[in-house]
Amino acid sequence: MERKIDWYRTPLDKDLLRQLTGRSDAKGLLRAGSFLLIFAATVSLCLFFFLRRLWIPMAAACYVHCLFYSFIGMQSAVHELSHFTPFKSKWLNEIFYHLFCFLTWNNPVHFRASHMLHHQYTLHRGLDKEVIPEKLAFSRLDAISWFVFDFRWFRLIMFPTIAHFFGRADVDFFFWDPLFPVGDERRSRMCAWARIILLGHLALIALFIALKLWVLIGVVSFGYFFATVLGRLATLQQHSGLCPDVPDWRVSCHTVLFGPLTRFLYWNMNFHTEHHMYAAVPFFQLPRLHEALAGDTPEPPRGFLTGWRRILTIRERQRKEPGWCFVPEFPPAAAPPRRAS
């Protein structure tokens, strides 16, 4: 039986909420289309330098391309599109959702299902499979890999995708607790999409080899796994170090006031408390939602690096005090935070 959690939500005026949940094809196309244009421009720049054998500029262009690439996936674009919120027209939303999933090796069937559970059961042990509410831990090797080749991310994505290609649905991205039980009809659709993704990238790689455009193998088919540092550092500012099993998104999510460029790349997901509290609000309305909830939510850190310093402080405290979790300070007029379920 599905467990129901009585989440706390800051009350909002119905008319305001109706305005905030309005979707827009124009704004969706502007953001998703700009991402495609940036992707095409950075790939073209990499190819331009490759064809002229300008290796140092090519390496620099490839690195910038990969830094941007991490935001096309589940950190930003795929994530927001999985909610059906950016576009008023569902078909437009699904075209970009599946395209961005293909580019980043994200299975659209698996991710949408897992992310729905993440919102229903945020940081609840055994229920939220996307974020495991344990001590915040990453090694120096992990941090180094984020700047070069993110081997853990590659392994987590690629091994299940290959298994699904061969119909082995028991192998899961959540290897510790598979998402779809035996008999779930989504298993076959997940495997079908794995075949589309793998065969599609193999076809692209074959084309690049035939044309001797070697650089495109790295930047198009595998660019998502290089230089993931910005996407990693942004994602770690969503739920890291917070208390598990609490039915209050103000306690289980971080909001950080990023700068305009990072907010653009991140599709405003730095307003993460707001996004969880009212998930039907599209990304372009999250700053306005943040203002509406400000009196009932903790004061957020200002700046990407300031937010990251807070995560490092939490990590150090947890290393010294296992079991400790971060609880933000609330404004005097805010409703008291709820305790563990």
The pTM score is: 0.95
Q: How many CB atoms lie within 10 A of CB 216?
A: 20
Whether residue 341 lies inside any domain: the answer is no
Whether residue 68 lies inside any domain: the answer is yes
* Predicted local distance difference test score (pLDDT) of residue 340: 74
The set of residues, in sequence order, having a beta carbon less than 8 Å from that of 111 and lying 6+ positions away, is 74, 78, 82, 101
For the chain, list residues with pLDDT below 50.
1
Same domain, 99 and 205: yes
Helical H runs in 54-129?
55-69, 77-81, 90-103, 108-120
Whether residue 294 lies inside any domain: the answer is yes
Whether residue 6 lies inside any domain: the answer is no
Sign of the CA dihedral with 266 first, then 268, 271, and 275 last = negative
Q: In what helix (H) or strand (E) does residue 327 lie, and over which residues does it extend?
A: none
CA distances to 51, 85, 198, 217 from 202, rounded to whole Å, are 22, 32, 6, 10
Q: Could you say which of 169, 203, 226 is where a domain stops? A: 226
Burial class (CB in 10 A: 0-12, 13-18, 19+), 252: buried
* Predicted local distance difference test score (pLDDT) of residue 81: 98
Number of domains in the chain: 2
Q: Could you say which of 226, 255, 277 is where a domain stops? A: 226
* Predicted local distance difference test score (pLDDT) of residue 132: 79
Same domain, 170 and 301: no
DSSP 283: G
* Predicted local distance difference test score (pLDDT) of residue 2: 67
Sign of the CA dihedral with 118 first, then 119, 122, and 126 last = negative
Whether residue 239 lies inside any domain: the answer is yes
Same domain, 157 and 257: no
Helical H runs in 211-321?
214-216, 229-239, 249-252, 260-265, 272-277, 286-293, 304-320
The set of residues, in sequence order, having a beta carbon less than 8 Å from that of 287 and lying 6+ positions away, is 268, 271
DSSP 166: T
* Predicted local distance difference test score (pLDDT) of residue 126: 87
CB-based contact 253:242 (threshold 8 Å): yes
**∠ CA 300-305-308, rounded to 5°:** 70
Same domain, 42 and 190: yes
Same domain, 95 and 172: yes
Whether residue 4 lies inside any domain: the answer is no
Whether residue 263 lies inside any domain: the answer is yes
Q: Could you say which of 181, 197, 226 is where a domain stops? A: 226
**∠ CA 9-241-232, rounded to 5°:** 100
What residues make up the domain containing 265? Answer: 123-137+231-321
* Predicted local distance difference test score (pLDDT) of residue 138: 76
Sign of the CA dihedral with 49 first, then 50, 52, and 57 last = positive
